[in-house]
A and B are shown apart, each in its own frame.
Chain A
Amino acid sequence: MIRCLVILSAVFAIAGAPAAAIAGTQDEGSPSPSIWGGEVRLHAGSLNGAEGLGRTGGLFETRVSLETALAAGLSVYGEIGSGFEQGPDESGLHQLYLNYQFTEQRDVTVRAGWIPLPFGRWNAMTLSRPLIKDQEFRVGSSQEFILRRASAGLSFHAGSGHLETDLAVLDQSRAEEFRIEREGGADAVGRFGFRSGGFSAGVSLLQGLRGGDAPSGTPGAQLGGVRARGIDLQWSRGLLSLGGEALVLDIDEHRNAGYYVQGALDISRLVRGLRLIVRHDFLDETAGELGGRFRRETIGLRQALRRDLDVELEFNRDHGDRNLPAFGGSHFVFGLRYRF
């Protein structure tokens, strides 16, 4: 709790400086923009709780974000939250980094701090997270690995024309832990993407550079024992969006694989603000404690009651080799999201 308050104080103290910087970048006559915003989510029904696969964010979750310019090209972004953030982000710091863009004309930036992991996509369109990105895999006797959202590290982004590249080195501790493990491992991550109009595609690579208790006996272990490769695709045309991601995660000679495909269609023609969402999700896990194949089909509706207030109703049908506390059978999940 004290740590959260310290983080929050630091974020807002940093944010106190930029008024002059913002004033210089605004058009004359433009109202000063806000620099922070937040949201509150409620999830009711199944898929809540810490156990299981492809969770929602718990009963309640809140998030407060701050984004502002500090000087020419330099900005800060911070995000803290309570509850889970569509998955394994726990209470505390979610992201906090400095972003430096070298020139306005060129898309070249450097980030330092608790930065997002540039591996594929992060959020799904549904209330629950994709299975492959929600699973915590065991590595060796005492360590765990998860495709987390953010960690402490340094990243580089460059875009030119339709091509974009992201490279990063990150600590394997999650951002919420707000620490850097000297004895722990690090991940070297890269994503190479193509984007044109409503289409985007990317290839992501992750190589673990583990610390003292790396799994032994494999060629991969000498480098770190964890290696992930993934592709992500997104195609949008008008009110229809289709996308997905597939990845293979090798841990100490054990291969895990998973994919998901999802689609969203805005059906405002029927009811204003109504959106239909579907997803098919698959995880083949051999390196973790679960061991098995899991599949989930999801169909949901999201209705914007107002611009800042959404309600969502989702139906999930699970199929798996094993029935787990929060996986198996059918579930209805209700979501309420309010932004401020």
Chain B
Amino acid sequence: MNIGSHKAQWLLAALLIQVALAVPMSASAPVESLKLSELPERFETRIPALLEEQLADVERAAAALPGMDRKRAYLITLPLQNYIEDVVLSANRPAALHPRAMAWVIGTEAARGTREREISRLLVTYYQKDLFKTFDVNRSNVAATEASKGGDR
């Protein structure tokens, strides 16, 4: 079969999707929890794979906060990732994240009962307005919420 033919290309594409889905994710799903304090306050990158890795860490940390769990946190940052790749990185600008503040916002909004879709949209809006750097993530409160989450289990 000629590799240049359209039929061969579509077959190859279907095969590769199967293979890719079988490969474990590098930017993994929130399997192991991560403490909020383990996230960096600021992270800057131009590399999409590193951006994804950091956003996966944000979800892992957020999943351990009250009102949130692994299933709800999974891919909650995906719209933000798409926005950054399409608009920020494509303009040759680095993506500047505030992972600790992002996870804190997810946890805070979840505790208020905000739905995941709305939290995803808020993350994009806050990034566009550069608001994450203005959030004062109080470490003692974070520790308290993490402790209370642990106590709830």
Give me the interface of A with B, judged by CB distance under 8 Å: 26-27, 29-31, 33-39, 42, 44-46, 59, 65-67, 77, 116, 118, 121-125, 197-198, 200, 234, 236-239, 241, 243, 264, 266, 268-269, 272-273, 275, 302, 304-309, 311, 334, 336, 338-340
> Across the two chains, which residue of chain A brings its CB closest to B35?
A29
If the complex has contacts A34-B50, A339-B52, are A241 and B75 also in contact, measured as CB distance less than 8 A? no
Q: How far is the CA of A198 from the CA of B130 in the complex (A)?
A: 9
Of the candidates B27, B53, B56, B90, the one whose C-beta lies within 8 Å of that of A124 is B90
A33 touches B13 (CB 8 A): no
> Across the two chains, which residue of chain A brings its CB closest to B128?
A198
B13 touches A264 (CB 8 A): no
Q: How far is the CA of A311 from the CA of B13 in the complex (A)?
A: 10
B27 touches A44 (CB 8 A): no
Q: Which residues of B contact A59 (CB under 8 A)?
A: 3-4, 9
> Across the two chains, which residue of chain A brings its CB closest to B49?
A37
Within 8 A of A (CB), among B107-150: 117, 120-121, 124-125, 128-130
Within 8 A of A (CB), among B77-94: 78-79, 81-83, 86-87, 89-92
Q: Which 7 A-B pairs have the closest CB atoms?
A: A37-B49, A44-B9, A123-B90, A198-B128, A37-B47, A339-B49, A65-B47
If the complex has contacts A44-B6, A236-B83, A268-B117, are A308 and B91 also in contact, measured as CB distance less than 8 A? no
Q: Which residues of B contact A309 (CB under 8 A)?
A: 20-21, 25
A39 touches B49 (CB 8 A): yes
Q: How far is the CA of A34 from the CA of B56 in the complex (A)?
A: 13
- How many B residues touch A, CB cutoff 8 Å? 55
> Across the two chains, which residue of chain B brings its CB closest to A124?
B90
Q: Which residues of B contact A33 (CB under 8 A)?
A: 40, 43, 50, 53-54
B129 touches A198 (CB 8 A): yes
Q: Which residues of A contact B90 (CB under 8 A)?
A: 121-125
A45 touches B3 (CB 8 A): no
B101 within 8 A of A: no
Q: How far is the CA of A311 from the CA of B10 in the complex (A)?
A: 12
Of the candidates B6, B38, B50, B89, the one whose C-beta lies within 8 Å of that of A45 is B6
If the complex has contacts A236-B83, A307-B55, are A67 and B78 also in contact, measured as CB distance less than 8 A? no
A269 touches B117 (CB 8 A): yes
Q: Which residues of A contact B3 (CB under 8 A)?
A: 59
If the complex has contacts A67-B46, A275-B82, are A336 and B17 also in contact, measured as CB distance less than 8 A? yes
Q: Most chain-A CB neighbours within 10 Å: which of B49, B75, B120?
A: B49
Q: How far is the CA of A237 from the CA of B124 in the complex (A)?
A: 8
Question: What are 8 A-B interface contacts by the 8 Å CB criterion?
Answer: A31-B38, A42-B16, A59-B4, A241-B87, A264-B86, A268-B120, A306-B21, A307-B29
Q: Which residues of A contact B9 (CB under 8 A)?
A: 44-45, 59, 334
A234 touches B20 (CB 8 A): no
Of the candidates A67, A198, A304, A305, the one whose C-beta lies within 8 Å of that of B21 is A305
Q: Which residues of B contact A197 (CB under 8 A)?
A: 128-130
Q: How far is the CA of A31 from the CA of B56 in the complex (A)?
A: 13
> Across the two chains, which residue of chain A brings its CB closest to B57?
A31
If the complex has contacts A77-B46, A304-B75, A307-B52, are A238 and B121 also in contact, measured as CB distance less than 8 A? yes
B105 within 8 A of A: no
Q: How far is the CA of A334 from the CA of B9 in the complex (A)?
A: 9
Q: Which residues of B contact A39 (CB under 8 A)?
A: 48-49
Within 8 A of A (CB), among B1-59: 3-4, 6, 9-10, 12-13, 16-17, 20-21, 23, 25-27, 29, 35, 37-41, 43, 45-50, 52-57
Shortest C-beta distance, B52 to chain A (Å), equals 5
If the complex has contacts A29-B38, A268-B79, A308-B26, are A116 and B92 also in contact, measured as CB distance less than 8 A? yes
Q: Which residues of B contact A29 (CB under 8 A)?
A: 35, 37-38
Q: Which residues of B contact A307 (CB under 8 A)?
A: 25, 27, 29, 52, 55-56, 75, 78, 81
Given contacts A236-B124, A307-B81, A309-B20, 8 further A-B contacts (CB under 8 A): A29-B37, A33-B43, A121-B92, A238-B125, A268-B78, A307-B25, A311-B17, A334-B9
